[in-house]
Amino acid sequence: MSVKRGLSSVQRTLRACRDQGRFVEKVEQWVSYGPAKPGMPSGTRRDAFGFIDILAIDSAAIVAIQACTQSGAEHLRKIQDNEYALAWLHAGGIIELWIWRKVKEKRGGKRERWQPRIENITTKHFETQQAKGNDYGKDERQNEGAAVTTAGSNLFE
């Protein structure tokens, strides 16, 4: 008997982006490293550039999306610690963090639905890393692009 599972955060994000009219492609890969053993994974997931689950094209730009459930702070740190993420922003790309969570449809009700909180990652998110002594973006472009936004990013708000 198989266990029925719902959509993953990546699948939900792909569906929502397509509903927005974006062209999207999953770039996260499953890398297998041998036959599965009981209780042990048979592989690992690898994101493009170490932080991108989905690439999206909208009317304004190319968007790198990291999708997750609940643990947004951990995924934000993953982006901040990635050497390619700041380069992505400096090249004119946009980074969005989609954090999915279940919310009640009515106050006091039992029925829940999945809803994303979408955070636009900007160069300001990296300033705390630079203050700690990391050398991200230590060039003349460091102060550019402090406020990156994208059309339609206020989905479900």
Which pLDDT tens digit goes with each residue over 62-104?
999 999 987 788 999 999 999 999 999 999 999 999 999 988 8
Q: Is 141 a residue whose pLDDT tops 80?
A: no
| Cβ(13)–Cβ(65) below 8 Å | yes
List, in order of start, the domains of the chain with CATH numbers.
Answer: 9-30+45-131 (3.40.1350)
**Residue 128: per-residue pLDDT:** 64
pTM of the full structure: 0.74
